[in-house]
Amino acid sequence: MSTTFLRSRRLLPFLAAPTALLSVSSAHLEAAEPEPTSQPAVDFVGVFVEKESAARLRQQFPAKFGNADEPLVVVLRFQPTAEEQEAFAPIFGRAAKLHVKGLAEDDHAQTVLVAVTTETGESLEYDGAAEPAHVTLSTSAGGLSAGYSSVLLERLRASDKLRYLLDDEEGISQWTGELPAFESKHLPLFSPFPAVEAKIVKVDAKQSEQLALQGTVCLSSRFDVSTGECQAPKAECGFCKFMKAGPCGKEFTAWEACLDSCKKSGDDFIEKCGPQTLALRDCVDANPEYYHVLSDDPEEKKDESEAEDK
C-alpha cells in the first residue's frame, strides 16, 4: 500500500470514494446491504505435504475424483487467532511427519487419517480440532472439499465406525456399509446429508513407515506452493499501523481483508468491497481529529504558511 496515502487521501480513490467509484455502480452499492461483520480472508495453520510424499500417497490410494493434482494439506487450525498464530510461529517452516492410520471414503470424498508429529515425535494435533487430523485426497464436492471430509469423519464417528481407524487395538481392519442420512454440525446449511455407501481401510504401522510422509508446517497465507517453502512474515507497513491504531481500525482491517481477498481470487474490488470502502470512508470523515493527515496537502500548508508570513 502506498504511503502517499498519508499525504493525501485524494490519491487513493478507494477511500476517497470519488465520483468514479460511486457512479460505476451506485445503484448496486446502495442496494447492497453492508455485512454486519466483515469476514477476513480464510487462513489456516496446516502441514503442507511435500510433493514426493504426496506422489507416494496418491500411488497408494489412487484418486477417485478429478482433483488429483491439487496440493495436499493437513489443516491443524482454521482461522487461528493472533495468540494461536504466535503459539505455532516457532515451528513455521519446520518439517513434520505424517503417520497414516487409514483411508475413509464414500461417493463424494476420499480422506486419509494421519497422526501429525514433529521430527522428534511430538504431536502437532490441535486439541480443539473438531475431527482427527486428515488429508483430503480427492473430492467431488467442489468448494466443500475439506469441509465435506470433516463431515464424512463426523458421520463415521456418529456411526461408531471411526474407532476402527483410531483404535490401535481394534481388530477390524476394513469396513464397508451404508451411513444413514445425517445432520452435520460442521456444515449445517447443507444438512441433511443423504444416506451414502462408505468404506474404511486401516493401514498398519509397517505400511505407514514405508510411505514415509513429510510436510512443512506453515500458515496458508505464507506458504509458497511453487517452492514448497514457508515464507517469513512481511513487516506491516507504517501506514497500516497508523490506520489500525486509530478509531477506524476495525473498518480498515475489514477493508484491507476484502482487498487482499480480491487480489487472491481475482474478484472485482469495486463490486465486492463497496460496503467496506464506504464504511471506512465514512469513519475517516467522522474522525478528522485523528485522520486529518490524510487530507492535509503539504503544498496547501506551505502556501498558507507563506501567506501568513507576508
Q: Give one DSSP letter per residue of 236-270, joined into a string.
A: PPHHHHHHHHSTTHHHHHHHHHHHHHHHHH---HH
Q: Residue 101 in contact with residue 113, Cβ under 8 Å?
A: yes
Q: Which cell numbers hold the place of 24?
A: 460505476
- pLDDT tens, position by position, for the chain (310 residues)? 433 332 333 323 333 332 222 222 223 323 333 343 444 457 889 999 999 999 999 999 988 887 667 789 999 888 888 888 888 889 999 999 999 999 999 988 899 999 999 888 888 887 666 678 899 988 886 555 557 888 888 889 888 888 877 777 767 788 899 999 988 887 787 778 889 999 999 888 888 888 889 999 999 989 988 888 998 877 678 888 899 999 999 999 999 889 988 887 888 999 999 999 999 999 999 999 999 887 755 555 455 555 555 5
Q: Where are the alpha helices (DSSP H) in the chain?
A: 13-16, 19-24, 26-31, 51-60, 82-88, 145-158, 163-166, 205-211, 238-245, 249-265, 269-286, 288-291, 298-309
d(CA 306, CA 20) in angstroms, rounded, equals 34
pLDDT at 302: 53
The Cα angle at residue 273 between residues 189 and 233, in degrees rounded to 5: 90
pLDDT at 178: 92
Please indicate, yes or no, whether the overall pTM of this predicted structure exceeds 0.85. no
d(CA 24, CA 14) in angstroms, rounded, equals 13
From-to residues of CATH 3.90.1740 in the chain: 44-230
pLDDT at 240: 87
Q: What is the dihedral of CA 66, 69, 71, 77, to 10 degrees?
A: 10
Select from 173, 171, 111 the least CA-distant residue to 145.
Answer: 111
Say which amino acid occupies 229.
E
Q: Does domain 44-230 have CATH number 3.90.1740?
A: yes
Which residues, at least 6 apart from 203, have a Cβ–Cβ distance to it below 8 Å? Answer: 100, 101, 102, 103
Dihedral sign for Cα 138, 81, 225, 213, please: negative
- Would you call the peptide bond into 192 cis, given omega within 30 degrees of 0 as the criterion? yes
d(CA 87, CA 255) in angstroms, rounded, equals 27
pLDDT at 43: 84
Cα 17 from chain centroid (whole Å): 29
